[in-house]
Amino acid sequence: MTSRMLLTFAAAAILGAGSAGAQDIAAGQDLYDGSCKNCHGPTAKGMASFPKLADKSAEHLTMRLEQYRAGEMVGPNSALMQPMAADLSDADIMNIAAYITDRFGPKPAKTEDATDAAADAGGTNGGHDGMTAKDGQGNMTEGKSGAANGHDDAATKAHSGDEPAAAEADVASHSDHADMPQDAVHDAASSPAMADANVDAGKEIYQGNCKNCHGPTAKGMASFPKLSDKSAEHLTMRLEQYRAGEMVGPNSALMHPIAGDLSDADIADIAAYITETFQ
């Protein structure tokens, strides 16, 4: 009986390992790029009020996505995450978790002997930013270069976990698109780009970059404001401000990289699509 039980457990372990190995990282990348990247960043380091995922285990990521899919409230972004996770299959969730941990997760720490040898070989460079070192408890830590990581650090400093920093509590109560004085709004509609706006092109950009946060009908989601009640002039002005790196509301840090590569025509197309489709 004991031998038979051992064989059963061994077979189960082998099957389990085969199942884990069946995760499709390429499929996970497609899902991440399409639904997660705009908020959590291209390298899963987090952006604005959205937490860093690169330091989470596959088990944690899987658990969170399953909770969101089930409609559970497990953090300040739950209302936004629930509709995104609602249609994910078990395989989708495992693939996303596998992609994040495989591509962006922490690498295995060097052994103490290897680390000491590297430190000896590095000479005086051991104290420079970006080098691996030990903290007071003997744990491995990795320094960061301010020039290379300044943007990511600023955006994620208070958001390394699922819960936000205290300052984030006010995000939902502020509109990133508060009404501006009339003399501050330029006449974007009179520009050639707005006059020649392509609504179909605007739809494609909106679906790829805006829908996940502002909703499929631009009515807003969670802390992201409603856009369907804004004029084309206002939408154009805001996108131009984000593109220029201006801080004009609590979601600015998230919007800067999204708007950074938009052309004047892209901005006009997005504004035209929103105003013609949802107003």
pLDDT (mean) for 120-137: 41
Q: For the chain, what is the largest distance between any 2 Cα atoms, rounded to a whole number of angstroms? A: 85
Answer yes or no: is 84 a known binding residue.
Answer: no
Reply yes or no on whether the pLDDT at 247 is more than 70: yes
Determine whether the annotation assigns residue 39 to a binding site. yes
The pLDDT, as a whole number, for residue 50 is 86
pLDDT of 221 reads 86
Q: Which of 60-64, 169-173, 198-202, 256-260 has the lowest mean pLDDT?
A: 169-173
40 annotated as a binding-site residue: yes
User: Superfamily for 176-278?
Assistant: Cytochrome c-like domain (1.10.760.10)
Per-residue pLDDT reduced to its tens digit, 168-181: 333 333 344 444 43
pLDDT given at position 188: 43
Q: Radius of gyration over alpha carbons of the chain, in Å?
A: 23
- Residues of the chain within CATH 1.10.760.10 domain(s) are 22-104, 176-278
Average pLDDT over residues 234-251: 94
214 is an annotated ligand-binding site residue: yes
Per mean pLDDT, which range of 69-73, 164-168, 218-222 is the poorest? 164-168
More confidently predicted of 12 and 230? 230
255 assigned binding-site residue: yes
According to the annotation, is 81 in a ligand binding site? yes
Q: What was the pLDDT predicted at 174?
A: 38
Q: Is the pLDDT of residue 32 over 60?
A: yes
- The answer to whether residues 270 and 239 touch, using CB atoms and an 8 Å cutoff, is yes
pLDDT for res 74 = 92
pLDDT for 224-237, tens place per residue? 899 999 999 999 99
- Range of lowest pLDDT (48-52, 105-109, 141-145, 186-190): 141-145
* Cα dihedral 178, 41, 49, 256 in deg (nearest 10): -30
pLDDT in tens, 193-220: 566 899 999 999 999 889 988 999 999 9
Q: Which amino acid is at 143?
A: G
Q: Do 18 and 10 contact (CB within 8 A), yes or no? A: no
Q: Residue 111's pLDDT band (boundaries 50, 70, 90)?
A: low
Residue 150, pLDDT > 70, answer no
More confident residue, 200 or 160: 200
Contact 199, 276 (CB under 8 A): yes
Pick one of 3.20.20.140, 1.20.1280.260, 3.90.1300.10, 1.10.760.10 as the CATH number of 22-104: 1.10.760.10
